[in-house]
Structure 1
């Protein structure tokens, strides 16, 4: 049995880097008699890991006479419940596996895979999650209420489920199981949702008040810090959305938003901790965070959930603030491994919704969101849309769309991916999913393998991509991007910014603290356009030594910053670090007490500190000028409407490129580390070129654009070497 470990954002197999090529296959939507043949096709298509949800509601069985609950994992009551056979087949075929037992799994299932007894819609003894207006949180696919995770009855039911499935999975740990994913996009797919859409129910409020007790110790201390007069922590209310009204009239009133964001973060962290313990499996625990993107509405038949989520349109640009405030993935590295999903829009055509026609490329925001989500922390892309063109965008049926997006996530930093899904499933009962068949007979509609095993261009594109990374993935993982800059994230700034779309909601004599909106978003678009390699990291998670390992760091400051963070930045600069900063100098600490340690330090004009008033991050010229002052020199450049990302290990380079022209052919160039790669590309051509020394060693090219109905002749030229590919292709050992 191979030995799998996980560190530095990726898997190792027997000590060697292992590039994760996953394919999701939902056994519960297919006949048991099909499983073996489909697994053979997925393995032949290049997959090395099968991922699958284990829906709670699918395996629960109630005694018809007594109502007693038991679980069927052997197919005794329905063939598609035979999880034991499914696991044995994966193992017998030499594939690896990642199991996803929930408790909530999404998968477009009724109640997201929860059984009826776990939903307040059918079990009124369970408290639902409540939104800021007091109404329950509904699941959009069947308009059922979702339970508060800390409701005692639901918590007991979930613990029993995880205990049962954990016992079932235990004999498969190591072979074929190499990982576990709990939950889905944190709790109920809320990892990129607004902070007023979760947590206002009684069980969550008890969690919130316990957090306040730990943080402030006594209600007297809480009142002193906040300027309030509550008699007990239980009386402290949660902040509520009040559009058009100031979020605070004095500085210390902002602390309620800081406290609420800490609750939103910790309630998710503790859920992972609790469920991990209850499952009892000793494997790497993976996560699938939603993209750093505005919420995208799926084309769900008869959807009603959106009517319960009523965020005003002017709040939607705050989505990166919501993400950074509640998803503190660096601080959680001891609990789970970061991973992303890709439902961010159509990257090749800059479409940020599930229905718009291709138009002008604009600022290429969607592609930038792909890169930022993958760049947030290295890990796996655990869901790339390969064929959901009915539920999501119609362009998703064209193979170049998922190919382009999967490659974009790898360019951003993903260390593997999951084709979601590999099969058009066509067999399930209404009790499992009564919604998606209203739209299309199979799930999804355009996956690589058809309902009856048919294969075509989507399968060929998947195999082309999979085969390349099966050959070159280990070498790619040994390479790394030379980071020019680390952008620092202060979650407490995002916590305040999350509620403050404009000056209408802001009356304090300070600039609104910002992290993503108007700061990292424009700055990273500048970097991606001009070849500046950057990473993102949470300041509270970094030690001074961690900071010193970066070539340079950059941060937009605000009028408050914790005393420990101010001391950390001072020590970093004193020890030789390079800090680029702009914004208002901090004058207060995390409790809004006077604290000007960093401001006083700036006034001494220390070497290594480049400080600017205002905001340099939304000004391309200002950002580049400051980078040059900090010693940055451009090592990678490329032609207009082209993006390129270079990973290297000594003299071994992987160049990932993406062309955004809608026509062709076009002559382009990429210059990197003193080398020049010339390309003839067509409409939305993308690919990878491995260069060793001064010669092309291997390549992967997607030169067919099925949407534009174009087959381009792609040329790669380096020194005296020329390679020509008609349409799609790959080559090795050149």
Structure 2
């Protein structure tokens, strides 16, 4: 399990780095650091080469202290920096030779720049088009030089501390959750769009045959900018997936990391069509060597069921770590994050839903930077992290340490355990590309998936997500999906074979009657009509009997071990009653936790083992005597103390 903490070293004086990192290890137990390597910080002057002296010194210090490092060079990093960490001189305003990224309306896509208006707000600046020749050359040169400086034998594992890298940020320009109409209609973007069309259709005659058009060259084909045919929207969705992959691959090739590359896709946004746009664009099965990862900047999931659903979907889309869990920002986002319980809840939810690790973002408050780096925010940055601006642990540090200690000991076993799921959602992304533009269309993915999620959670059941075009369906007994007028013939064949092998397929919406070429094809409909529904039998699981909470169960395939995670909603009574069924045993459990808090329990051979329970949530004014009653035997902590047992250690009082 990847357990990391973010430290933006470039916002602090080098003389405090050692103290902050030493405190981080002692107070939180985290032994790996992530850090952005901002282009604007290391190369503010276009005429001078990048200077990565301080980045190299920071990485070397981490190695001296026994800390592992994941380096993140962007080129766009966000991180609340001017122009997202891009240097001013790559802005199209500064260099007319740099092509701007464009939206469907033809206007430049913007980000907050380095200039402030009369109110002290950052003036929006146009962003460069990632595939524009001049910016692409500059970005790739930056990444090559950053890679040469950082990936020396003494800095890279096994001799050095660097174990991984991250390319881009939440998409390309923190745009992974934006609508499909938001980008990229620049000349370079459309040139690549037509390249994708040529890959799909072979030649313009093949395109014309499918679209009923009479173009003489792909250069004549225009992208959708509003309502269009479903097939035009499918083409644009395919382009978005290929565009994200293409740019990230080019940046990765330039950085040339000798360590794994992880991404940090932002989760889907909440407006109509946003989930469809995200599902159409995010295709991890096509990335080949790029590791899926995600972030959480969508709202307080213990209080907002929409945020909860989208967060879970992001965690389930593919196996990968949560690369940014908000542990430090309340003023910029939501006052609920002033309490460690909010982030504790979300971290455990991400892991229960499928994440392979978590990141404390941002773990250490920083106090020293110039307006050239960040002209808007004042120190400390962030405002409420586990380590404050004076280098002292806050109450959040103890909450992080519970998680870090628990999963340092049990993380490998936890990930070996398979989640107990009732069904699998079959994702068919051509529908998502249509639904992103037309949320009311028969072909869509987002709304049906959200409805499926809410039904599963209301029934206390977990689920998986699988890409029907790429995945092997073995091991996915019950597959639910939404249907439309068409579906790839190969996908229909795959689902029909699944039915013939004894699997279940539950089709909502319309039975497809055409294949991807518009030819008649009712393979799936015919198979469904030949298959009688089967009775569903009781199975292992965990059920919430009283209280407002979500519960998840993971079971080891070889050993008599399981993990139950309980996520208490913000409006719940502190007392949660559950029933856990595992290996023919049924256990009655009562957990007392703070509102908006959470718990994780390891059960070995039918007996309660190591566990964590969050007892306080200062934001909600909730403080309890945390306890667990497991089959009549009770363990309790002192009032307002978190309950923890890790490796047989006694209860330790923590604060939040």
TM normalised by structure 1 equals 0.82
Q: In the alignment, is the contact (CA less than 8 A) between 2:593 and 2:613 conserved in 1?
A: no
* Residue 122 of structure 1 pairs with residue 94 of structure 2: yes
Task: Give the Cα–Cα distance (whole angstroms) in 2 for the partners of residues 634 and 516 of structure 1.
Answer: 29
Task: Give the Cα–Cα distance (whole angstroms) in 2 for the partners of residues 228 and 663 of structure 1.
Answer: 58
Task: Give the Cα–Cα distance (whole angstroms) in 2 for the partners of residues 265 and 429 of structure 1.
Answer: 37
Q: In the alignment, is the contact (CA less than 8 A) between 2:23 and 2:392 conserved in 1?
A: no
Show the counterpart of 2:501: 575
> What aligned pairs does 1:400-439 form with structure 2 within 5 A after superposition?
400-437=341-378
Task: Give the Cα–Cα distance (whole angstroms) in 2 for the partners of residues 724 and 102 of structure 1.
Answer: 46
Q: In the alignment, is the contact (CA less than 8 A) between 1:694 and 1:718 conserved in 2?
A: no
Show the counterpart of 2:320: 379
Which range moves more in the overlay, 28-37 or 631-640? 631-640
Match of residue 470, structure 1, among 404, 408, 418 = 408
Task: Give the Cα–Cα distance (whole angstroms) in 2 for the partners of residues 473 and 272 of structure 1.
Answer: 29
Give the SS at the match of 1:187.
coil
Match of residue 455, structure 1, among 393, 416, 427 = 393
Show the counterpart of 1:204: 189
Give the SS at the match of 2:165.
strand
Task: Give the Cα–Cα distance (whole angstroms) in 1 for the partners of residues 443 and 344 of structure 2.
Answer: 38
Task: Give the Cα–Cα distance (whole angstroms) in 1 for the partners of residues 495 and 224 of structure 2.
Answer: 31
The Cα RMSD (Å) is 1.8
TM normalised by structure 2 equals 0.92
1:321-376 CA deviation, whole Å, 9 max, x = no partner? 111111112333x23111110112011222xxxxxxxxxxxxx3322222222122
**Structure 2 gaps, min length 5:** 114-121, 649-656
Which range moves more in the overlay, 653-662 or 266-275? 653-662
Deviation at 1:430, TM superposition (A): 1.2
Q: In the alignment, is the contact (CA less than 8 A) between 1:321 and 1:497 conserved in 2?
A: yes
Task: Give the Cα–Cα distance (whole angstroms) in 1 for the partners of residues 404 and 539 of structure 2.
Answer: 35
Deviation at 1:206, TM superposition (A): 0.5
1:579-628 CA deviation, whole Å, 9 max, x = no partner? 2223211111113232233333334x136xx5xxxxxxxxxxxxxxxxx7
Show the counterpart of 1:646: 553
* Residue 108 of structure 1 pairs with residue 80 of structure 2: yes
* Residue 521 of structure 1 pairs with residue 450 of structure 2: yes
Show the counterpart of 2:514: 588
Q: In the alignment, is the contact (CA less than 8 A) between 2:420 and 2:541 conserved in 1?
A: no
Show the counterpart of 1:637: 543
Show the counterpart of 2:117: none
Q: In the alignment, is the contact (CA less than 8 A) between 1:489 and 1:536 conserved in 2?
A: yes
Deviation at 1:630, TM superposition (A): 4.7
Distance 1:205 1:661, change over 3 A: closer
Give the SS at the match of 2:290.
coil
Show the counterpart of 1:23: 5
Give the SS at the match of 1:708.
coil
Show the counterpart of 2:137: 156
Task: Give the Cα–Cα distance (whole angstroms) in 2 for the partners of residues 717 and 473 of structure 1.
Answer: 24
Task: Give the Cα–Cα distance (whole angstroms) in 2 for the partners of residues 113 and 327 of structure 1.
Answer: 24
* Residue 226 of structure 1 pairs with residue 193 of structure 2: no
Match of residue 39, structure 2, among 45, 56, 63 = 56
Q: In the alignment, is the contact (CA less than 8 A) between 2:5 and 2:361 conserved in 1?
A: yes
Task: Give the Cα–Cα distance (whole angstroms) in 2 for the partners of residues 54 and 325 of structure 1.
Answer: 30
Match of residue 191, structure 1, among 167, 176, 179 = 176
1:608-657 CA deviation, whole Å, 9 max, x = no partner? xx5xxxxxxxxxxxxxxxxx735464632112412111112131111111
Show the counterpart of 1:46: 29
Q: In the alignment, is the contact (CA less than 8 A) between 1:337 and 1:379 conserved in 2?
A: yes
Aligned length: 626
Task: Give the Cα–Cα distance (whole angstroms) in 1 for the partners of residues 98 and 594 of structure 2.
Answer: 56
Q: In the alignment, is the contact (CA less than 8 A) between 1:365 and 1:525 conserved in 2?
A: no
Task: Give the Cα–Cα distance (whole angstroms) in 2 for the partners of residues 114 and 261 of structure 1.
Answer: 27
> What aligned pairs does 1:460-539 form with structure 2 within 5 A after superposition?
460-502=398-440, 512-517=442-447, 519-539=448-468
Q: In the alignment, is the contact (CA less than 8 A) between 2:431 and 2:444 conserved in 1?
A: yes
Distance 1:576 1:31, change over 3 A: same
Show the counterpart of 1:353: none
Q: In the alignment, is the contact (CA less than 8 A) between 1:330 and 1:537 conserved in 2?
A: no
* Residue 399 of structure 1 pairs with residue 332 of structure 2: no
Show the counterpart of 2:653: none
Give the SS at the match of 2:73.
strand
**Structure 1 gaps, min length 5:** 1-18, 75-81, 242-246, 295-315, 351-363, 507-511, 611-627
Give the SS at the match of 1:470.
helix
* Residue 669 of structure 1 pairs with residue 585 of structure 2: no
Show the counterpart of 1:602: 528
1:10-69 CA deviation, whole Å, 9 max, x = no partner? xxxxxxxxx22110000111111011111111111111210001111111153xxxx633
Give the SS at the match of 1:522.
helix
Show the counterpart of 1:325: 280
Show the counterpart of 1:134: 106
Match of residue 289, structure 2, among 335, 339, 350 = 335
Deviation at 1:494, TM superposition (A): 0.6
Which range moves more in the overlay, 334-343 or 548-557? 548-557
Show the counterpart of 1:146: 127
Deviation at 1:93, TM superposition (A): 0.8
Task: Give the Cα–Cα distance (whole angstroms) in 2 for the partners of residues 392 and 451 of structure 1.
Answer: 19
Distance 1:254 1:479, change over 3 A: same
